[in-house]
Structure 1
């Protein structure tokens, strides 16, 4: 049974602190785990913290709001719930509870391919908008099956994760001996054929079949021809990949380093975001995740050109501590912090947030 939200939970870091005391150590290692030495995961947060804001006084703030229109959706704020696997690790109601918390705040939830509930089950109970995060499968027929299920259930966009054809080297969760508990699995992948891996002594599986059917640019072209849903590519960190994404018809890109869980020593998303935005040059929306823990982080991301931001680990922290109410409270905290930051920098709406919000670096 989820306990009431402790009264001293007033920031996302408080949810993280309480979740660490609630979750079993191996689960905590999985949730917090990052690639290799965790340098990119650490950099994600420190990079936002290192940017300074430029205050603006005595501004006319009448009619201020955080409203956002994104791919045909009218959203009350720019905080989206990033795709995260296996919410059942944090709460017995799993993705149902997360979706309920998102809906209570008008927030958009991106459902993971590796959810512990089916796409249809989540959509049937969800009261708010959903996008589907797609891991493309070894067989195109299996990928198409996922797409058709998402379409039939009313998901409003496809978010294709392109930066993890293989898992990162996650030493922390391996040391902790993490394994999924009995009864929790990626149910949406039931019956699908995994890559055929060859076994050789002293060799990892990476170059022994694991990558034989990893997605390529031509697969994005194929996917675009199969659906009318908007297709966003998640995991874009370089301007060249951003350019290629637009060329193959992506409707949007998400600047992301997988929360630092894939390739360690990639730059922080705060570093990559303005570079990608310059190359995209307004042709498609650019979103961003990685280390968003404060409303001021979101303000900085919007100032650097993001249309919206996604929040990953904090939703699991909040889910573990307070269930659906915790998720709603966590999002409410972020929105309140953003509103205060906008008020103190003199920005009445998201369209007024630009690079002049940031203190000059030199």
Structure 2
């Protein structure tokens, strides 16, 4: 039977519940689990709910729009698809289904290094819609360079350098479930890389010597000729360093609460980062965004766009490309309603809705 939207799927929370009902226990633990006791994972979501929105009434709504521009791209909304791994865990068409939905809605899609589909096939399916490639710098630098050039040849328009996860976080929920990738699903774009040396511990010097550093931004820009976006910034000083070293944009992220527990929720870090770099480069944010009011808050606090991670996989699990597209449409509609009911004609007016009125 073709993928169909369930009649009860009217919000992103509904999609999460439906996905959780149909995924097997180990895959669910991989998808929904966070680091340690999962405080950061939960705080990402609850922080957005801890807000008061101040509406304006009887405003002139003519010409209202969610359109925005990001790194030269004209977008219908500030929504983007975050990089997440192994989409074929959640649907047989995997990243191709996600790319189909992104293309249909002209939504930028950031493809993960750990995609379960060749990056060239994803690019072909995206049919010219905005496509960025997320990069983990590998211990094999030559392989990393080849991977970057593959992405450029395939038509990816930017690189997203993830800097907050040089090692996997300790995800106890995933460990308890005994999660392992099933046969036939792997990070196919990393096939052929030299094996990682056996490490005796996390601070093994052989591992530490291969970690990314600030100079890698210039290396990647020279190698690829593409914009480089830095993903995984929380501290204001790191935001300043990203600007200083030539980063073209920043993604405020704590990796969905999956790397280290007790990190601040992204809503808390976002305004601090925005203040630190003072509009020198664009800021994107992910982490716990489930409602149109969350998107409106993010824009008000200094973000130029927001990324969706788990909600995309929920939609993919439930209804493939149709589900992913529906998740994006639901959030887009909620944002439009929130803007209309708060008197915002454009995203640039969002800051007024969360500031205490005079």
Please show how residues 1-362 of structure 1 align to structure 2 within 5 Å: 3-127=3-127, 128-199=129-200, 204-207=201-204, 209-354=206-351, 356-360=352-356
The Cα of 1:2 is off from its aligned counterpart by: 5.5
- The alignment partner of 1:84 has SS state of coil
SS of 1:320's equivalent in the other structure is helix
Structure 2 counterpart SS, 1:317? helix
Of 1-10 and 63-72, the range deviating more from structure 2: 1-10
Q: What is the Cα deviation at residue 46 of structure 1? A: 0.6
Conserved 8 A contact 2:54-2:357:
no
1:67-93 per-position Cα deviation (integer Å, ceiling 9, x unaligned): 111112111100100000000000000
208 and 24 in structure 1: CA distance in 2 versus 1, 3 angstrom threshold:
farther
Contact 2:48/2:294 (8 A) holds in 1: yes
What CA distance in whole angstroms lies between the structure 2 residues aligned with 1:123 and 1:3?
Answer: 22
Query: How many Å apart are 1:192 and its aligned residue?
Result: 1.1
**Relative to structure 2, which stretch is displaced further, 37-46 or 122-131?**
122-131
How big is the shift at 1:38?
A: 0.5
Q: Structure 1 length normalisation: TM-score?
A: 0.96
CA contact (8 A) 1:81 1:110 kept: yes
Q: Distance in 2 between matches of 1:50 and 1:361?
A: 18
Answer whether contact 2:3 2:322 (CA < 8 A) is retained.
Answer: no
Aligned length: 357
Q: Per-residue deviation at 1:220?
A: 2.0
User: 2:242 & 2:59 partners in 1: Cα distance?
Assistant: 39
CA contact (8 A) 2:229 2:249 kept: yes
TM-score, scaled relative to structure 2: 0.97
Give the SS at the match of 2:116.
Answer: coil
Structure 1 stretches lacking a partner, 5+ long: none
The alignment yields a C-alpha RMSD, in angstroms, of: 1.4
- Partner SS, residue 293 of structure 2: helix
**Tell me, what secondary structure is at the counterpart of 2:314?**
helix
CA distance in 2, matches of 1:211, 1:184: 28
CA shift, 1:361, in A, is 10
8 Å CA contact retained: 1:236, 1:254: yes
Deviation per residue, 1:190-248 (Å, 9 max, x gap): 1112432344xxxx444363333111112222222212211000000001100110111
Stretches of structure 2 lacking an aligned partner (at least 5 in a row): none
Task: State the Cα distance separating 1:14 from its structure 2 match.
Answer: 0.4
